[in-house]
Structure 1
Amino acid sequence: MRRRYMDAIALVQHFGKPDIFLTMTCNPCWPEIQEHLQPMEEVQNRPDLVSRVFRAKVEELKTNIQKTNIFGKIAAFMYTIEFQKRGLPHAHFLIILMDGYKLLTPQSYDKIVCAELPDPHIDHHLHKLVTKHMIHGPCGYLNPSNSCMQKEGKCKFKYPKQLTEQTTKGKNLYPLYKRPKIITPIKVRGHNIDNSWIVPYNPFLLKKFGCHINVEICSDIKVIKYIYKYICKGHDKIAFFVHNNDTNVEIDEIKEY
């Protein structure tokens, strides 16, 4: 992991800071997975099938980024694939755009990232995908026991987000994306949801892959080491030692560490 992290820093030194941070999570309901399950078989029992399908999706995503240039011409990119504790793989991408395609204004952000519910009368399919895959939680006062909640009673991802009528640049943060107030909130997972709970996404990629695919503009973030460290953090680890049943043996945990 350290080697990969140093390679990432070398990319920054040569090509500059990353512009886009993208996370794609496997959807266990993809038809490519469901149609190959045996009767009464569950997705978590087929990691071989899940891994193959997810790899194919990631390769298609790489083609869209690198050859189709959906974000513009790229100078470099890197990605890592992790497995969540519940078994589903997800991929983190960091993308560096060429100078002529850098995202420098809030207007350019809006062409790539959306953080609001689409109108179901205009695009019913996209509205359905957003409500299924791109709603955070809910957490906070709506659901204090959600897994993202910290001891201080706050969401570690800082949801719900601030509602705003236009996108603005962040100060060493992700941008404040356009999240207009909606007249009639929708009900998701038993709670009324508005644009403050939408995870930023790209409409084209969400329609194409039909899964949780978070797209963020990260060009305003100065702490780039944290971004690369986040995607290169590796797996959870634990150190243990087996002792005999002799209660008179003194255990020095500091020395063992």
Structure 2
Amino acid sequence: MTNEHFRGSRQYYQKQYAACMTICREIGSIDLLITYTMDPSAPELSNILLEHQNWSDRPMEVCRIFIDKLAELVKDITEREVLGPVKAWFHSLEHQKRGLPHVHFAVILDWEKMRTSGRITTKEEYMEQYISAEIPDLPNSMDRTESAQSQRLLHQIVVTKHVHTCNQHCQRDGVRCAKRFPHAYSDDNIYSDNAYPKYRRRPPPTSENERKKNPELFGNTHKYVDRYGKQHVVTNQYVVPYNHYLLSKYRSHINVELVAGDGCVKYVTKYVMKGADMAFIRVEQEGIEGGAWRYDEFHQLRLARYITSMEAFLSLWGTKLVVRSHIVFSISISFSIRFV
């Protein structure tokens, strides 16, 4: 029998989930949900790949680079407070079907500290300062300054790594997107305690003359051709929310969302709760055919864990599945039973 100390057991997941819920109950509701995904085209990884090698051929290097970047990301959020002062946080590690690791990061912000310092007074102001869901502007082609180069880099990262493309994997009933894309256009940031926040997603202009008259009212578009030769036009409706600083520094997919209520705690820990991916395997042994005797077919059905090489490496390396800012102690309660 497994227990709560066995990595990957059901009891382990239940304990981690209870600890995360305790932090939220004692300190406050989660304010930010950040998803950081390992980039297979990261220059640190591309530079060490040999000829004809893929990132999947170097699982150890992928994991080591990811863990180093994750440690730096934790420092940026919790110590350097690039997203504002933090009261508590926790994150859970998981792996995609193809093996790449990624992390769901939950953050509880210190709103009182931000309001006291005069930096932020409303949630809409926070969204304006820290989160964007629009395609960045491109500077003039003749501008060669450092800020212009940084802006071009940010634009490239957004249109290549932060644009959602609806396909059969995310569509429900072949029509609706499970991620709620495309989002409706919005001229302002709107926050509600009982609904998803609406980020500013300005529509594109009908003509360039219209943009020149009121450039602050319109958003940008991006055109590209897919591998099948089909041309696509991307607007702000398909941009995944991000933070300018984190995206420019890590150059990977880092989704930053402002949330309301305790519902995101379940979302952050749902993959941890379900455990490793499972696959049903059926092993059969055929009987002897054509003889005097025909044996009954023997079959066995097993539920086996599906673990990628990168997940196995991180497990051997002792990497924690869940990391929290606070230590939560669980107390066993027992009642003495007296029989009369």
TM-score bracket for this pair, using the shorter chain length: 0.7 to 0.9
Q: What SS does the corresponding residue of 2:199 show, helix, strand or coil?
A: coil
Contact 1:172 1:222 in 2 (8 A): no
Query: Is residue 267 of structure 2 the alignment partner of residue 227 of structure 1?
Result: yes
Quick check: which has more Rg, 1 or 2?
2
- Partners in 2 of 1:38 and 1:152 — Cα distance? 41
- Partners in 1 of 2:133 and 2:203 — Cα distance? 12
Aligned to 1:156: 178
Q: What SS does the corresponding residue of 1:50 show, helix, strand or coil?
A: helix
Distance verdict in 2 for CA 1:249–1:171, change over 3 Å: farther
- Partners in 2 of 1:2 and 1:241 — Cα distance? 29
Q: What SS does the corresponding residue of 1:238 show, helix, strand or coil?
A: strand
Aligned to 2:162: 134
Q: What SS does the corresponding residue of 2:177 show, helix, strand or coil?
A: coil
Which amino acid letter does the alignment assign opposite residue 221 of structure 2?
P
Aligned to 1:169: 191
TM-score by length of 2: 0.66
Which amino acid letter does the alignment assign opposite residue 124 of structure 1?
R
Aligned to 2:137: 119
Unaligned runs of 5+ in 1: 140-144
* Residues 96-107 of structure 1: pairs in structure 2 closer than 5 A: 96-100=108-112, 101=114, 104-107=122-125
- Partners in 1 of 2:111 and 2:222 — Cα distance? 41
Unaligned runs of 5+ in 2: 1-12, 140-147, 206-219, 288-294, 302-340
Runs of 4 or more consecutive aligned structure 1 residues displaced over 6 Å after TM superposition: none
Distance verdict in 2 for CA 1:224–1:28, change over 3 Å: closer
More strand by share: 2
* Residues 62-73 of structure 1: pairs in structure 2 closer than 5 A: 62-73=74-85
How many residue pairs match? The answer is 246
Distance verdict in 2 for CA 1:14–1:171, change over 3 Å: closer
Query: Is residue 223 of structure 2 the alignment partner of residue 187 of structure 1?
Result: yes
What's the CA shift for 1:150? 1.8
Among residues 109, 112, 127, which one is paired with 1:109 in the alignment? 127
What's the CA shift for 1:90? 0.9
Query: Is residue 83 of structure 2 the alignment partner of residue 43 of structure 1?
Result: no
- Partners in 2 of 1:77 and 1:237 — Cα distance? 29
* Residues 60-99 of structure 1: pairs in structure 2 closer than 5 A: 60-99=72-111
Among residues 220, 229, 246, which one is paired with 1:205 in the alignment? 246
